[in-house]
Amino acid sequence: MIPELGHFALILALGLALIQAILPLAGSYTGNLAWMSTARPLAWGQFVFTAIAFALLLLAFLTDDFSVVYVASNSNTLMPTIYKVSAVWGAHEGSLLLWAGFLAAWGAAVAGLSRNIPLQVLARILAVMGMVGIGFLLFMLLTSNPFERIFPPPLEGRDLNPLLQDPGLAIHPPLLYMGYVGFSVAFAFAIAALLGGKLDAAWARWSRPWTTTAWIFLTLGIALGSWWAYYELGWGGWWFWDPVENASLMPWLAGTALMHSLAVTEKRGAFKSWTVLLAITAFSLSLLGTFLVRSGVLTSVHAFATDPARGTFILIFLCIVIGGSLALYAWRAPAVSGGGRFDLLSRESFLLANNLLLTLLTALILLGTLAPLIYEAMAWGKISVGFPWFNTMFVAVTPFLALLMGIGPMTRWKQDEPGRLARELRVPFILTGAASLLTVFLMPLLSLDWYLVPLGIGLAVWLLTAHIQAIRERLRHKNSPSAILRDLATNGRSFYGMILAHLGVAMFVVGVTMVANYGQEKDVRMSPGDSQEVAGYRFLFHGVRTQRGPNYMAMRGHFQIFDGEKPIADLWPEKRNYFASQKPMTEASIDWGFTRDLYVSLGEPLEDGDWALRLYYKPYVRWIWLGAVLMALGGLLAITDRRYRLARGLTRASADVAGATATARS
Amino acid sequence: MGKTLKFLIPLALFAGLVALLFFGLGTDPRKVPSPLVGKLAPEFSLPALGDPTRTVSNADLLGQVSLVNVWASWCYSCRAEHAQLLRLARELKEVQILGLNWKDTEADAQQMLRASGNPYQVSAFDPDNRAGIHWGVYGAPETFLVDSEGRICYKKIGPVEPGTWESELAPTIDLTTRKCKEYRS
């Protein structure tokens, strides 16, 4: 009975989404206030019913209801409770429900938190979100119902894919989906603005906190996924350029461009049509990611079970949503473009260049991801685009991006003097040159890519010093050391958020540079009692014992690590065999540190109790993820800026007037 | 007019993308039709990995059922399938496993076998893709099932996983007559 209730709740949510897509929109054109006012309660209703469906699916997992196909395929009585919870979104159907649930939650949040937005605009925004909701709910109900039953029910479930039985992966998809779906808000704002033909500073100011919030989730989601791949896949890599990873990186890059472009639209009224296009692009890339993962068009380690009917549905959905919005863009954008003028040397120019670079990077990654498909379509044969291509593209574009990131925040809006800018940047420039030169002498690297280390370290120093200079410039007239704190307390939060996020990029660059160029890796055969030296650390192997886990048997190795004569860590890498799926899994063991990780993973058992083992030394690898955390914190600081709260009170009066006149006109 | 056209560019690009994705739906990226399946294995003659004096050639395929596994030390999926190959080497006495070490360096390849174990009777060393190109190798890992007359029964793209032998490879070969039962890829 309970699964049927869940199914029914989904149908009700779909019904509400249908009304939400039509009624408020119609009201916004006819000036019918009662119709427009239905947008809020409908959004809340859609959220309540998807939440009920989600809770009931969760209940089915917790009570081991194997009469539900989805539960039987992804759970098992032996599984720890936390994984029964995360198994709800561990496969296609449930993750779709999570997606639809988040979409409804974002819709409800917009409905609840946007009191200052004119009703007409809000009605259109929520109607657009309702349309997206229809797509996902219909997709679920037609092709991927998580509540489908089987009779007779199996006695035991098939267990969750062991790769996913890990705390990191339990929270990775929710974060990622919050980010993906969050871009639907920016998208809905953009479409509503196109519909209304009014793209102004107020519109940009309303969109900014929503866009940044979605971006924060996506940043953390991607970082967590990368961290998970690092410790769980057992190869010590942190990014694999897998189509699914690319699917998450592309909306992130487009979203990053969007955040910067929105800043210009808000402050200077420029880049209007470009900002709208980015908002559409960011969400479209999120949807495209879904398509790529679930349609079976590309192969990937993460791919969900594929089904052509699903692929066809998502493709049609993509055509309607993306094709429709781009057609609307082509129709309405010419009327709204234009805006503030600016000189070649101005902050606008640097932000535009940064936007173009981010877009270029996105396009290159899209091209690489789709290359196998393009080759096949053109009958050029098969190709697999791997690491080398993506890395080359990444290394070719990011240095310019980092260079601009240092200059941009120092530059004035509208126009700046080259002399002033040169004076400001002289010290950072000299320090960067010195740091790069020092790395050449202090950190010699005898390989073909010798230039990468001075480049990476130089860019990080450049970002650090240029941003310190930007803070000094901002505080020029306030000399007391507590000035920063006072600035933070008053109206500087979005500025310091930007600084923090950019320093996160610097940290990321250091991590990538160090681990790529100074990481050490040893594939060795060891007998119990053997020692191996990696990067000055001695790894003493004590052997492997068998141990039982809740739903698996593990071979558990024991290592002692010595720095000189001093034992510094005990590592326990495992190789697990899950009972239900019979899939072997490696669990690496890591001694983590701020400046280096020591990483051990079990390979294969060989004869005479010997083992094939992988020992790694990963310098500064944590900085990659800490950098991402810093970026997210920067975003968090920025959205707490008083401007957004202050603006709310101030604009309310004027917004209501504007809304009323707009309603009267249309 | 020119200004309006500019705003149509994103839509046009998207239309191209949709055409591509629509095409993609109709194909299965895991299935690469190999014109070689059902035919005699292509001629090849290469030095053995670790023993340049020995030659590995079509003669090594005759008289026994063989799995020819294309591998390289730089290939992550190959390392992942290594355990399965070791298991098959232990369990399947009627089948010999031959390696085609592809686009690799001798030192790296040897190091991987020393560290992870060696499932191969012998590995042919093909750093320059000389045999690979005739065998139609698109990427590592790939595995060919070859019968005792040197005919290819099955071509597996991607790593050998638990159950791959039982469900995909074994049905195409008759282990008593050592001949292909059917041809698939």
DSSP-derived secondary structure for A145-159? -TT-B-SSPPSS---
Domain count along chain B: 1
Q: Is A319 on the interface with B (CB under 8 A)?
A: yes
Asked whether the predicted pLDDT for residue A364 surpasses 50, the reply is: yes
**How confident is the model at residue A299, as a pLDDT?**
52
Look at residue A646 in the predicted model and tell me its pLDDT. Answer: 46
CB contact under 8 A, A308 and B32: no
- B20 occurs within a structural domain: no
What would the mean pLDDT of A115-144 be, rounded to a whole number? 93
Is the pLDDT at B26 greater than 70? The verdict is no
Residue A243 parent element (H or E): helix A243-268
Question: What is the per-residue pLDDT for A658?
Answer: 41
**H or E stretch at A543:** strand A537-548
The answer to whether the CB of B44 falls within 8 A of the CB of B58 is: yes
Q: Does A153 touch chain B (CB under 8 A)?
A: no
Q: Is residue B142 part of a domain?
A: yes
Residue B18 lies in a domain: no
Which of the given ranges, A83-92, A117-126, B78-87, B112-121, has the highest pLDDT on average?
A: A117-126
Q: Which residues of A touch B14 (CB under 8 A)?
A: 284, 322-323, 326
A374 touching B, CB under 8 A?
Answer: yes
Distance, in Å, from the CA atom of A187 to the CA atom of B154, rounded to the nearest integer, reads: 48
- State percent of chain A over pLDDT 90: 48
Q: B167 at the A interface (CB within 8 A)?
A: no
* Confidence (pLDDT) at A445: 63
* Listed range (A268-277, A491-500, B22-31) with the worst mean pLDDT: B22-31
Q: Comparing C-alpha atoms, which of A183, A184, A217, A208 is closest to residue A640?
A: A208
Q: Decide if pLDDT at A648 tops 80.
A: no
For the record, the structure tokens of A435 come out as: 């740091």
From chain A, the residues in CB contact with B28 under 8 A are 296
* pLDDT, average across residues A130-148: 93
Q: Are B127 and B96 in contact (CB under 8 A)?
A: no
Segment A458-464 mean pLDDT: 95
The answer to whether B25 faces chain A, any CB pair under 8 Å, is yes
Are B23 and A376 inside 8 Å of each other by CB? yes
**Does residue A582 surpass a pLDDT of 80?**
no
- For residue A655, the model assigns a pLDDT of 41
Confidence of residue A308 (pLDDT cuts 50, 70, 90): low
Q: How many Å apart are CA B180 and CA B147, to the nearest integer? A: 6
Confidence grade of residue B81 (pLDDT, cut at 50, 70, 90): confident
Q: Is A377 on the interface with B (CB under 8 A)?
A: yes
What ipTM does this complex have? 0.79
**Among A326, A370, A375, A613, which would you mutate to test the B interface (most chain B Cβ atoms within 10 Å of its Cβ)?**
A326
Rounded to an integer, the average pLDDT of A331-335 is 86
Contact assignment for A373 to B21 by CB distance below 8 Å: yes
DSSP per-residue string spanning A338-397: ------SSSHHHHHHHHHHHHHHHHHHHHHHHHHHHHHHHTT-------HHHHHHHHHHH
Instruction: Indicate the residue of B15, B25, B112 with minimum beta-carbon distance to A297.
Output: B25
Q: What are phi and psi of A36, to 5 degrees?
A: -65, -35
Mean pLDDT within A197-224 = 92
Structural domain boundaries enclosing B101 = 32-180
Band (pLDDT 50/70/90 cuts) for residue A335 is confident
pLDDT of residue A386: 66
Residue range A426-448: average pLDDT?
A: 82
**Range name among A172-186, A515-529, B21-35 with the lowest pLDDT average:** B21-35
Does residue B3 lie in a domain region? no
Token duo for residue B15: 């239309």
Predicted pLDDT at A557:
92
- Per-residue confidence band for A447, with pLDDT thresholds at 50, 70 and 90: low
What is the pLDDT at residue A647?
46
Q: How confident is the model at residue A487 (pLDDT cuts 50, 70, 90)?
A: confident
Q: What is the mean pLDDT of residues B134-146?
A: 83
Whether pLDDT at A391 is above 70: yes
Mean pLDDT of the residues in chain A:
86
> A15-29, A399-413, A569-583: which has the minimum mean pLDDT?
A569-583
Sorting pLDDT into bands at 50, 70 and 90, what band is A653? Answer: very low
Closest CA to A273 of A366, A355, A367: A355
DSSP states along B96-147: EEEEEEES--HHHHHHHHHHH----SEEEEETT-HHHHHTT--SS-EEEEE-
Q: What is the mean pLDDT of residues A531-555?
A: 89
Partner-chain contact B25 A523, CB within 8 Å: no
The listed range with the strongest mean pLDDT (A406-410, A456-460, B104-108) is A456-460
- Tokens 């350029």 belong to A241
- Does the pTM of the predicted model rise above 0.90? no
Domain annotation covers residue B13: no
Position B38 in a domain: yes
Question: Would B67 be classed as within a structural domain?
Answer: yes
Phi–psi pair at A515, nearest 5 degrees: -70, -30
**Residue B51 pLDDT greater than 80, yes or no:** yes
Taking residues A209-233, what's their average pLDDT?
92
Name which residue leads in pLDDT, A658 or B42.
Answer: B42
Among A102-111, A509-518, A598-607, which stretch is predicted with the lowest mean pLDDT?
A: A598-607
* Span A175-185, average pLDDT: 93
Instruction: Categorize the per-residue pLDDT at B27 as very low, low, confident or very high, splitting at 50, 70 and 90.
Output: low
Do A318 and B21 count as a contact with CB atoms less than 8 A apart?
yes
Among chain B residues, the shortest Cα distance to A603 is held by B116
- In this prediction, residues A427-440 reach a mean pLDDT of 90
- The domain that holds B64 is classified in CATH as 3.40.30.10
Please check the confidence at residue A36 and state whether its pLDDT lies above 90: yes
User: Has residue B60 been placed in a domain?
Assistant: yes
Mutation target vs B (from A191, A233, A523, A530; most B CBs, 10 A cutoff): A523
Kindly indicate the confidence band of residue A135, based on its pLDDT and cuts at 50, 70 and 90: very high
Size of interface A-B (CB pairs under 8 A): 101
pLDDT above 80 for A161:
no
Chain B, nearest residue to A322 by Cα:
B14
| Token couple for B183 | 């041809």
**Is pLDDT of A378 > 80?**
no
Using CB atoms, pick whichever of B29, B83, B86 lies closest to residue A372.
B29
Q: Is the pLDDT of residue A597 over 80?
A: yes
Between residues 119 and 138 of chain B, which touch chain A (CB distance below 8 Å)?
138
Residues 6+ apart with CB under 8 A from A380: none
Quote the pLDDT of residue A649.
43
Indicate if the alpha-carbon torsion angle A644, A646, A652, A658 is positive or negative.
Answer: negative
Q: CA nearest B111 in A: which residue?
A: A523
Give the pLDDT score at A485.
Answer: 75
Q: What's the CA gap between A228 and A68, in Å, rounded?
A: 29
Q: What pLDDT score does A62 carry?
A: 95
Min mean pLDDT across A31-45, A164-178, A300-314 is at: A300-314
What is the nearest CA distance from B127 to chain A, expressed in angstroms?
A: 18
